[in-house]
């Protein structure tokens, strides 16, 4: 059985941000993909950054 601790949750967040970045590249949005990759790289030091960038990109697209 997998035990969820802070590191595991952080790793899942980083992986999901990388998947979001790959989806953005596949949709032809290279700037958004690059922002998400950068957020994934920094997520080890700033927890929750990937989620925040992803949410802000979605809000920006919704309001645009």
Task: Give the tens place of pLDDT for each residue, 12-25.
Answer: 889 999 999 999 99
Cβ atoms of residues 50 and 13 within 8 Å = yes
Cβ atoms of residues 35 and 47 within 8 Å = no
* Mean pLDDT within 51-55: 92
Residues 22-46 pLDDT 10s: 999 999 999 999 999 999 999 989 9
Instruction: Supply the DSSP symbol for 46.
Output: S
What's residue 55's pLDDT?
Answer: 92
Question: Domain locations in the chain?
Answer: 6-63
What's residue 47's pLDDT?
Answer: 85
């Amino acid at each position: 059985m997998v035990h969820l601790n802070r590191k595991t949750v952080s790793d899942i967040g980083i992986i999901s941000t990388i998947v979001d970045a790959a989806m953005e590249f596949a949709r032809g949005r290279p700037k958004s993909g690059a922002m998400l990759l950068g957020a994934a790289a920094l997520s080890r030091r700033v927890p929750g950054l990937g989620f925040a960038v992803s949410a802000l990109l979605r809000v920006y697209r919704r309001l645009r």
